[in-house]
Amino acid sequence: MAYETLIVETEDHVALIKLNRPEALNALNSQLLGELAEALKAAEENEKVRCVVITGSEKAFAAGADIKEMADKSFVDMFMSDFFGTETEQLLKMRKPVIAAVAGYALGGGCELAMMCDFIIAADNAKFGQPEINLGVVAGIGGTQRLTRFVGKSKSMEMHLTGRFMDADEAERSGLVSRVVPAKKLMDEAMAAAQKIAEKSLLTTMAVKEAVNRSYEMTLREGLLFERRLFHSLFATEDQSEGMNAFLEKREAQFRGK
């Protein structure tokens, strides 16, 4: 499938999706988000793929929603099209793990896109921010909700109210990103993490993802029960038997996703 705003490559069991609108610092317009939804769906349906990496350029992961596309829209336009509601749905539906590899600007919708992924690996030049306040709007793809859960109310509120950017070190300290790596090594590190995940049982990685994501949706008591029952149910799989026997026999496990 040919895309105009993305470059998609599959390496072993990893689909790499590169946002590619360099003239606009990868600003997210309807075309890019529509193509991203298609590329994600294709990765989800491709039996060979076991992990997805989304990245941008060295200068920008994405500098936000496309301001040129939005500037003249009315409330009715935005509301009736449920602007960005349907386009972002596919990312939320992904059962395969999705990593964001972020270099440069991840602002507004760019920061929100990164936060919708399962975890973020940041280059040391990464800058995160929710500067929508400077445009007379609020975040629209989850920024006020997700950033607050990641970094806490005080920092999230400050960032949304002032529009200031957070550098990579602060993002790591605050729990927004899993780790920071030198910009030149970003793609090697992100692809290595993705390959490592792809070596596991896909069945188990999907189960992990469901359990961790439930921690946002459920009370602790319900979440603990959900996790325990999931843990129990994995004893019905061949991969549990293979994983545990491989450990006892001091050999590498050969997972088959069954």
Return the active site residues: 65, 109, 112, 132
- As measured in angstroms, the least distance from the Cβ of 94 to ligand CAA is 19
CA gap 193, 178 in Å, rounded: 11
Considering only residues 135, 157, 206, 230, which one is a binding residue for ligand CAA as defined by CB under 6 A?
135
- As measured in angstroms, the least distance from the Cβ of 256 to ligand CAA is 41
Which residue, 132 or 239, has its beta carbon nearer to ligand CAA? 132
Q: What x/- string results for residues 70 through 109 when contact with ligand CAA is judged by CB under 6 A? A: --------------x--------------------x-xxx
User: Is 143 a binder of ligand CAA (CB under 6 A)?
Assistant: yes
Three-state secondary structure call for residue 11: strand
- As measured in angstroms, the least distance from the Cβ of 215 to ligand CAA is 24
CB 91 within 8 A of CB 142: no
CA gap 254, 239 in Å, rounded: 8
User: Is 116 a binder of ligand CAA (CB under 6 A)?
Assistant: no
Q: What x/- string results for residues 26 through 65 when contact with ligand CAA is judged by CB under 6 A? A: -x-----------------------------------xxx
Give, as one character, the DSSP assignment of residue 194. H
User: Is 159 a binder of ligand CAA (CB under 6 A)?
Assistant: no
User: Is 131 a binder of ligand CAA (CB under 6 A)?
Assistant: yes
Which residue, 97 or 143, has its beta carbon nearer to ligand CAA? 143
Count, residues near ligand CAA per rule CB under 6 A: 22
Residue with tokens 């050969």: 254
Cα angle 83-211-37, degrees, rounded to a multiple of 5: 30
Exposure of 214 in the CB half-sphere (CA atoms within 13 A)? 19
Which residue, 25 or 99, has its beta carbon nearer to ligand CAA? 25
Residue 124: closest CA among 178, 180, 69? 180
- HEC per residue, 214-228: HHHHCCHHHHHHHHH
Residue 63: alpha-carbon gap to chain centroid? 16
Residues in a beta bridge with 16 = 9, 53
User: Is 132 a binder of ligand CAA (CB under 6 A)?
Assistant: yes
Which residue, 97 or 109, has its beta carbon nearer to ligand CAA? 109
- As measured in angstroms, the least distance from the Cβ of 157 to ligand CAA is 16
CB within 8 Å of 254: residues ≥ 6 apart: 242, 246
Token pair for 63:
């500098």
Given the rule CB under 6 A, which residues bind ligand CAA?
24-25, 27, 63-68, 84, 105, 107-109, 112, 131-132, 135, 139-141, 143
